[in-house]
Amino acid sequence: MANEDIEVYKRALKREKAARKAAEEILEQKSTELYDMAQELKATNSKLQKTIKEQNTELQGVFENIIDAYIVMDLWGNVLKMNEAAITLLGYDYQNNDFNLFAIADKEEVDNVMSTFEALISEGSVTDFKLKLNTKNGTQIIAQVNASLIFDENNKPIAAQGIIRDVTFENKYRQAIETEKQKYSRIIANMHLGLIELDKEERIMMANQSFCAMTGYTEEELIGKVGKELLPAEVDKDLVHEKTVERRSGKSNAYEARVRNKKGELRYWLISGAPNYNYNGEIIGSIGISFDITDIKNLQLQKEDLLSKLEKSNNELHEYAHIVSHDLKSPLRSINALVTWLKEDNKDKLDEVSLQNFAHIETTLEKMEQLITDILEYSSIGSDGKEKRAVNLNEIISDLVKILYVPEHVNIKIPKKLPTVRGDGTKLQQLFQNLISNAVKFIDKPEGLIVINVKELTSYFEFSITDNGIGIDEKYHDKIFKIFHSLNKRKDSTGIGLSIVKKIVDLHEGHIWLESKPDIGTTFYFTIKK
């Protein structure tokens, strides 16, 4: 091979070596550059990832609850970020001042805040945390906080975000509801009414203390039992069943029933039941309120018993009065007949004095008979229980004036039209008759005057009968209405007339009184219920 050729090959090889080395150097340099670049990219990437993670955690909360107050704070309570709603709610703005959330918590909340914050750190989130916050404008709100931690790329907590809701009113309502609930629970527990809740099969689901006390059973003994089978007395089982069926059709009811308690004693209950509905308006059972009326019932039975006894004895008294009056009057009649016969049979043999004595006997007999009649009348008032009717007093008085003995010198004046009242016509006539004839009787003036007048009051008529007679001394005003209190011993006075008057006025739910001046006259006033 030629040297030239070898030299050429040598040089070419040398060039080739140098070129390869250069290429190797470039390659090495490029690859170093590439490595650096890769390292750089890696770092950027990791940084980006961190940011994204932070942003993600942060944004997730924000966008989910954007209308609520939203706050991001560091772990020392310094607010880093807050939304418009939070600014409106709390009055503070983190952009204007340094604003620490812990600082606006109410003083008494310190322990509460600390423990909750610890829980937040350890658990990563807290929900439904309530605390009192003092807002910038000085009002205190009750805030409900739901918060969670924000972590960095190494899962290290770096901040906390939270939603704050003003539940002041909600809380107040809830408190009010709770108070009401407690109030009713207390009422139910302490009321003297037995309360039970029954399911659709009439099984007792709830019974209050009073109900247990009323029955003598404990609540455990009652729960699950069918009320209508356990409690009603045999006689009233059907009744209670009937009422229960009624309730099932949605009807409320109240009724009396006899019940046997645990001891087997018979008690009277007033039971009031109503269907119980669920939210959908379906009947789910019933609620029963029971009241032990045994004592009242016994009193009522006692009262009925007494009333019937009273009625019986009243009847007896009425009969008795009639029999006594008959038995007393019969001898008087006989005496009268005998005296008359004595007079007839000895017509020409009796002297003036004897005839006068016979006349005295007759007058005495008359007075005696009048007395008996009056007593009978007095004891009969109110015993016949007549119904009250409309009575026109004008008719009654004009009739009376016709039949009564009114002497020439006595004038009866009725300046006003008299009303129509409700009452017993016969008795009202008797009332006026006694008062008018009394007035007539005691007029001692040459010109007698009797005035019958009336005044209309709200619920009463007030009548007055005025005379210009002898008058009544004030010390007797109370006495004259008492039976047998005749102030004047007169042959035509038995002392019962005014007692009858008083009794009739009482019967018409009125009052009677008088004004009088001795020698000048008397006015009797009485009222009659309209």
Partner 1 sequence: MSTLNVLLIEDDMIEVMKLNRAVSSLKLQHNIVEANNGEEALKILENKDKLPDVILLDLNMPKINGIEFLKILKSDDRLKYIPTIILTTSSNKRDLLECFEIGIAGYVLKPLKYEDYVFKIEKLLAYWSINELITA
Site string for partner 1, 255-284 (x = CB under 8 A): ------------------------------
Specify the residue, 330 or 354, whose C-beta has the smaller distance to partner 1. Answer: 330
Residue 492 binds to partner 1 (criterion: CB under 8 A): no
d(CA 286, CA 253): 11
CB of 298 to partner 1, least distance (A): 34
**Candidate list 37, 103, 121, 337; residue touching partner 1; CB under 8 A:** 337
Between 91 and 425, CB nearer to partner 1:
425
Q: Does 178 bind partner 1 (CB under 8 A)?
A: no
- Contact (Cβ atoms closer than 8 angstroms) between residue 436 and residue 465: yes
Task: Say whether residue 326 binds partner 1 (CB under 8 A).
Answer: yes
Contacts 24+ apart (CB under 8 A), 436-439: 436/400, 436/401, 436/404, 436/412, 436/465, 437/404, 437/405, 437/497, 438/497, 438/498, 438/524, 439/465, 439/466, 439/467, 439/469, 439/522, 439/524
Decide: is 322 part of the binding site for partner 1 (CB under 8 A).
yes
Residue closer to partner 1 by CB (options 241, 343) is: 343
Q: What are phi and psi of 120, to 5 degrees?
A: -65, -45
Cβ-based neighbours of 399, under 8 Å, separated by 6 or more: 429
Cα dihedral sign for 352, 354, 360, 366? negative
Q: Is 312 in the site for partner 1 (CB under 8 A)?
A: no
What length does the chain have? Answer: 530
Rule CB under 8 A: choose which of 75, 113, 365, 401 binds partner 1.
365
491 is a contact residue toward partner 1 (CB under 8 A): no
Stretch that binds partner 1, among 112-120, 216-224, 328-336, 399-407 (CB under 8 A): 328-336
Decide whether 303 or 333 has the Cβ nearer to partner 1: 333
Q: Which of 152, 282, 319, 478 touches partner 1 (CB under 8 A)? A: 319
- Contact partners, residue 120, CB within 8 Å, separation at least 6: 126, 147, 148, 149, 160
Q: Given the complex with partner 1, which of 102 and 358 has the nearer CB atom?
A: 358
Query: How many other C-beta atoms can be found within 10 angstroms of the C-beta atom of residue 141?
Result: 21
Minimum CB distance to partner 1 smaller for 262 or for 386: 386
Given a contact cutoff of 8 angstroms between Cβ atoms, the answer to whether 525 and 515 are in contact is yes
**List of residues 6+ apart from 17 with CB closer than 8 A:** none
CB atoms within 10 A of CB 441: 17
Indicate whether 333 belongs to the interface with partner 1 (CB under 8 A). yes
Q: Tell me if 384 contacts partner 1 by CB under 8 A.
A: yes
The residue whose two tokens read 């069926």 is 245
- Under rule CB under 8 A, residue 320 binds partner 1: no
Contact call for residue 366 and partner 1 (CB under 8 A): yes
Distance CA 174, CA 168 (A): 10
Does residue 313 belong to the site contacting partner 1 (CB under 8 A)?
Answer: no
Looking at the Cβ atoms of 57 and 336, the one nearer to partner 1 is 336
Q: Does position 389 bind partner 1 by CB under 8 A? A: no
Which long-range contacts does 358-363 make (Cβ < 8 Å, 24+ apart)? 361/335, 362/336, 363/491
Binding partner 1 (rule: CB under 8 A), the pick from 179, 300, 308, 334 is: 334
Query: 288 burial class (0-12, 13-18, 19+ CB within 10 angstroms)?
Result: buried
The reply on whether position 316 binds partner 1 by CB under 8 A is no
- Residue from 226, 287, 332, 361 in contact with partner 1 (CB under 8 A): 332
Which range of residues in 58-66, 153-161, 324-332, 393-401 is near partner 1 by CB under 8 A? 324-332
Could you give the 3-state DSSP secondary structure of residue 70?
strand
Contacting partner 1 (CB under 8 A), which of 130, 329, 441, 445?
A: 329
Q: Which is nearer to partner 1, 326 or 479 (CB)?
A: 326
Q: Minimum CB separation from partner 1 for residue 354, in Å?
A: 18
Nearest distance, CB of residue 527 and partner 1, angstroms: 28
Q: Is 523:464 a contact under the CB 8 Å cutoff? A: yes
Nearer to partner 1, 376 or 498 (CB): 376
- Report the alpha-carbon distance of residue 134 to residue 119 in Å, rounded: 23
Which residues, listed in sequence order, are joined to residue 48 by a DSSP beta bridge? Answer: none
User: Smallest distance from the beta carbon of 366 to partner 1, in angstroms?
Assistant: 7
Nearer to partner 1 (CB atom), residue 307 or residue 338:
338
Q: Is 364 in the site for partner 1 (CB under 8 A)?
A: no
**320-325 long-range Cβ contacts below 8 angstroms, 24+ apart:** 321/375, 321/376, 321/379, 321/380, 322/376, 325/372, 325/373, 325/375, 325/376
Q: Which is nearer to partner 1, 223 or 365 (CB)?
A: 365
Tell me the torsion sign for CA atoms 337, 340, 346, 347: negative
Our finding on whether 22 is near partner 1 (CB under 8 A) is: no
Write the DSSP assignment of 364-384 as a string of letters: HHHHHHHHHHHHHHHHHTTTS
Residue 452: CB atoms within 10 Å: 22
- 122: how many CB neighbours lie within 10 A of its CB? 8
Among 190, 330, 356, 411, binds partner 1 (CB under 8 A): 330
Q: Which is nearer to partner 1, 124 or 331 (CB)?
A: 331
Applying CB under 8 A, what is the total number of residues that bind partner 1? 22
Instruction: Identify the residue whose tokens are 């007759």.
Output: 362
Work out how close the CB of 425 gets to partner 1 at its nearest, in angstroms, rounded to a whole number: 15
Widest CA span in the chain: 226
Stretch that binds partner 1, among 98-106, 227-235, 267-275, 365-373 (CB under 8 A): 365-373
Binding partner 1 (rule: CB under 8 A), the pick from 215, 244, 286, 325 is 325
Binding site for partner 1 (CB under 8 A): 319, 322-323, 325-327, 329-330, 332-334, 336-338, 340-341, 362, 365-366, 369, 376, 384
